[in-house]
Amino acid sequence: MFHRSVFLSVSLLLATAANAQIVGGTISGIVTDPAGAVVPDAQITIRNQETGGERHLISDAAGAYAAPSIPVGVYAISVVREGFAPQTRAGISLTVGQAKRIDLTVHPGNVTEQITVTDVPSSINLSTQQISGLVNERQIKDLPLNGRSYDQLIILNPAAVNYTAQRSGSVGTSNSSVGSMFAISGRRPQDNLYLLNGVEYTGASLINVTPGGTSGQLLGVDAVREFNVVSDTYSASYGKRQGAQISIVTASGTNNVHGSAYEFLRNSFFDARNYFDQAHIPNFQRNNYGASLGGPIRTNRLFLFGNYEGYRQNLGITDVTLVPDTQARQGLLPDPANPAGPRKSYGVANGVRPLLNLWPAQNGPELLDAKGNPTGIGEAFSSPTQHIREDFGTARFDANLTSRDLLFGVYTADDSTANTPTQNPFSLINESLREQVVSIQEQHVFSAHLLNTARVGYSRASFFFLGSIPTSIQSETPGFLAGKPTGAIVIAGSTASNGSSQITGAGANVGSNNATARNLYTFDDHVFYSRSRHQVEAGVWLQSLQSNDNLAQNQYGQASFASLTTFLQGTVKTFTVVPNPTPLNWRSFMSAVYFEDTWQLTPAFEIRGGIRFESTNGWNEAHGRASQYGFKNGVIDTTPTTGTSALSNNRAKILPEPRIGIAWNVFGDGKTSLRSSVGLHHSLLDNLDYRLDQAAPYNTTLSYSNVPIASPISGPPGLISPSNVQADISTPGVVSYALSIEQQLDQTTSITVGYVGSHGYHQILSEDQNEPGSIICSPNSSCPPGTSTGTIYYPTTVKANPLVANTTSWTSGGSSNYNALEVDLRRNLAHGLQLRANYTFAKNLDDGSAWNTSVSANTPAFVSYPGNPSLDYGPAATDIRHLATFNATYELPVGRGHFLLSTVPPLINHAVSGWSLSTIATLQTGFPFSPQLGYNPTGSGDTRNPVRPNVNPGFRGNIYTHGSTATRVGQFFSPAAFTPPAYGTIGNLGRDTLTGPGYADWDLSLLKSTVLTEKTRLQFRAEFFNVLNHTNLQTPNEVVYTSGPTQGTVANQTTAVVQSPTAGVVTAASTSRQIQLALKVIF
């Protein structure tokens, strides 16, 4: 059960992350004679049948042998002992992270009697190692992948939720997560760790560091041999993250020259119409092309492998933009006193008219209120074009240096750019991202019992994000700040990055001109010692991290308006700007040591126990520019202190993480396996820079209130808006536990039923730490009339510290609980058929699911009431109650040597043979979401608007709209189920109480393989995505009310309630049926 994970043998100089980097597995067993007596001193040779590499062992007094840290591959095991006939077992396939038990029985005889058998792999896992998350080479290369992003196959595992569609912004426009996002076993997507040949594979963005290019794809299908998703509880050799550990192993050269050349083609000509497409399907062209080549430099000794993949995409995006309607552009809006009558003229204030150029003109229907009256908001349909370029390459060198030494080195690079229109076609995003990984590993066998694996690595990702508007529009539209492009505009919505709003946002994104370069330096070392029934692994890991950033938000300014009316009048509710952005240079050093013993207590019972200690030196700025806001008597300071460290108290100096697991071969026949484990895991805080990059005095955020749009920074200086991290922030932790039983149904098929649970603590929450004082309403309090007892009420709008504005703060007060039932049916490849089907019934609860709104569009990231964050406890943003997936590949039994048409002539055989089908089907319930307000009734000044509405006790009927797709698109849920809170109060609606549209998808691939020569094949593929063309709607607009009573003046307290006409409106759907064609030559 020994993972070749990250372990480090001192070298203060190199270090970088990704603990527990597994790139191989373990083979062990016992040698016996036919009577069952152990056979000591047997000479055992484990030979890699692809490269000729060998490991030599001798069975001990108990007949036991063990070979840990064996590279992935196909092996033959030979055993020789005087007085016994030599025996060889061939065709043993070893996968990443696998602990394979191969017991050998030798028979009396002489050396001339050679016994050879072919291994038949068991369908049951009898070890404590988790390999249920394995995605093998056949699945990676044969299953249909829309975009050839192999991380899409993570969802083949139970409890794996693809959360990518719920981030704010789509492919090419999200600045907080460029790669795909997966929530596995209830953990947050940013808690996963990707390991490429044992070295952390890092991406870069404002928050998430998941790898993947600007295409949103993780390219390199032909370079990847397999990967394993290790979740729940796992070996002490894993660390740094509390989520899944995804170990990716690249292909290598072998003694046979092998390779491929291919092109995958997508074109809108083959696609069905998306539900929101207009008369014509937008143009779409995508080309994936590349080649791979591997082989020997010197047979059995030196090997090379290389792969290149190119990705080019021109995609017409289906945009449905919510815009000021035609009359609103003339200053005419519905009269609140007579909504159905003539419109009232509000005029267009100085400085507003050119800003109207930032939205396309209305060419769709008017949005109507609940009574069928116009709202001043219309729809604009368009199909602007996105352009993406991405190039991926990898090169690998392997060397069998001696019979005791193995060496490999791998270099991988991915370079990409994207130019993408947002949901507003006049708001453009330019992204560039370059990722690189270097991994060098040397393995030395000291004896039959002692082995050492050492690894050095370097991982880098550099990211640039720029928002802009078309040149022709910018030339006619002034910026908020002299010499800078026009900044972001929000109307009746949240000012959080990419937050929800009544009208689609306009102008340049708040994250414009952001850049970050992330460097990780790694060295780890692992010692493996095997003796009798014990396999011991120990190691140490060090990591040095550098993050060089220019991540200040609002560099071009952001103007937030309370309503469309105040926009036309030119009154900015809140204007936020960072006038003098300063790049910062962050550093952190992390380390870990671990010890683990796998004890074969009896032939049928294995126990694994280990402990890991992790540590960091905090979060430090290289030039002493780390800002920290302190508190006195619970009130935030006006001025921050600066220094080298952002943390006054480093709580991550020593983090112990005990872990234990058992595996029981219940009846001793290898057909029933019971496994259980429990462990403690942490997520080391290695991405605090985004929040600290917004802090004064180096990146001072100024906030101006109620200013004219023509001169938003006029008048008295704006208040500083503090951005800070809890000075004694704790490291997020998870205690996870699992119990499962696996039963073999036949030699190739098994079914597993299991329970998985976890409890998280010290999870990161976002909140405002400078709110006015509040009280809990009682019969004798001064709350507004009719307010229920227990309601939270803000009697004043004066902040705790009136000298600074609202804060954006990260704290470690969150908690979570996850419980799931998993059922998993697997069939290994036999008779041309391989399949897997699983179902997960889960409940995922927390009081905050994300560090920032931009990575969780379906739920506000900010705590609604910082005085008691637990009031937000409810369904997590990633809570999927029911999830089922199915995948299979089937070689059709047609042609010579098969069941059907087995005697056809050669010419016909070429046409009818070599066909196979592959498929993936997914069914899941919808993501939860929170109805929101477009304003903040507390008057606290927090324009992220984290407060939710009240539940309407008088509402009757179904809250969800049923019927046709058009009916559900028009209003997915009834806003009448909610009422606006009284001024100064927080609504009583729970967090994430509604469930969005479900998801159903079926993908199918048809493959024809034609033999050209003895060693060359030609593959033709036709792949169909969303075969049934099912419309999968995305999350509806969550803003229920755009304005209402707010604490403050009498006028504020009596503000008329305005229901948002866009409440519940759906403006996007997942892809329609799409077809991909491909040709591939394999040799």
**1044 contacts 234 by C-beta, under 8 angstroms:** no
Q: Phi and psi at residue 748, in whole multiples of 5°?
A: -115, -5
Q: How many CB atoms lie within 10 A of CB 761?
A: 14
Q: Which residue is listed with tokens 């030609």? A: 1018
Residue whose entry in the numeric block shows the structure tokens 């694994």: 608
Angle 631-811-593 from CA coordinates, rounded to 5°: 115
Both tokens assigned to 1060? 């948002």
Mean pLDDT by 10 residues, the chain (1083 residues): 32 31 80 91 92 90 89 92 89 86 87 65 84 87 92 95 85 82 94 95 89 94 93 90 94 95 94 88 94 96 97 92 95 92 93 95 91 92 95 97 94 97 94 97 92 97 95 93 92 69 90 95 95 92 97 93 94 92 97 96 95 97 95 95 95 97 95 96 95 93 90 83 94 97 95 97 96 94 92 96 94 97 95 96 94 81 92 96 97 90 88 95 97 92 86 95 94 96 96 96 96 93 96 94 93 92 91 95 96
Contacts of 531-534 spanning 24+ positions with Cβ under 8 A: 531/60, 531/449, 532/60, 532/61, 532/62, 532/64, 533/62, 533/64, 533/599, 533/600, 533/601, 534/597, 534/598, 534/599, 534/600
Residue in this structure with the two tokens 């005085």, named with its chain if needed:
867
83 CB burial (10 A radius; 0-12, 13-18, 19+) = exposed
Distance, CA of 146 to chain centre: 17
d(CA 659, CA 239): 11
Pull the structure tokens for residue 804. 């600074």
| Contact between 718 and 707 (Cβ < 8 Å) | no
Q: What are the tokens at 376?
A: 């001043």
The structure tokens listed for 577 are 């700007």
The C-alpha atoms of residue 381 and residue 278 are separated, in whole angstroms, by 8
Give the neighbor-by-neighbor strand order of the sheet with 87-94.
54-58, 43-48, 73-80, 87-94, 115-118
Q: Is 179 helix (H, G, I), strand (E, B) or coil?
A: coil
Query: Residue 402 is encoded by which pair of tokens?
Result: 């001696």
Cα–Cα distance between 569 and 175 in angstroms, integer? 32
Radius of gyration from C-alpha coordinates of the chain = 31
For 121, the token pair is 């792999």
Amino acid at 552: A
CB neighbour class for 471 (10 Å; exposed up to 12, middle 13-18, buried from 19)? exposed
Distance CA(1044)–CA(935), nearest Å, equals: 8
Burial 801-826 (b: 16+ CB within 10 A, else e): beebbbbbbbbbbbbbebebebebeb
- Tokens standing for 172? 């090419």
Q: Is 443 exposed, middle or buried (0-12, 13-18, 19+ CB in 10 A)?
A: buried
User: What residues does each domain of the chain span?
Assistant: 24-118, 882-1082
CATH topology of domain 24-118: Immunoglobulin-like (2.60.40)
Token pair of 523, please?
């060295």
Could you give the CA distance from residue 100 to residue 778 in angstroms, rounded to a whole number? 65
Both structure tokens of 508: 């340049």
Alpha-carbon gap, residue 244 to 192, rounded angstroms: 5
The strand ranges marked E within 954-998 are 978-979, 994-995
Distance CA 477, CA 355 (A): 6
* Dist. CA 813–CA 815, nearest whole Å: 7
775-792 b/e (C-beta count within 10 Å ≥ 16 → b): eebeeeeebbeebeeebb
How far is CA 481 from its chain centroid? 36
Q: What angle do CA 237, 77, 100 make, to 5 degrees?
A: 35
Outline where DSSP puts E strands in 50-191.
54-58, 64-71, 73-80, 87-94, 99-101, 104-105, 115-118, 134-135, 160-162, 182-184
Print the SS3 string covering 188-206. CHHHCEEEECCEECCCCCC
| Residue-level pLDDT at 1001 | 97
d(CA 756, CA 186): 10
For residue 906, what are its two tokens? 């050669």
Q: Write the single-letter amino acid at 1022.
A: A
pLDDT at 651: 96
Q: How far is CA 15 from CA 307, 456, 520, 522, 989, in A?
A: 27, 8, 7, 3, 47
Report strand pairing: 450-468 vs 488-493.
unpaired
Instruction: Count helices and strands (H / E) in the chain.
Output: 7, 65
Residue 56, beta-bridge partner list: 45
- The 8-class DSSP code of residue 900 comes to B
Burial 498-510 (b: 16+ CB within 10 A, else e): bbbbbbbbbbbbb
SS3 label, residue 909? helix
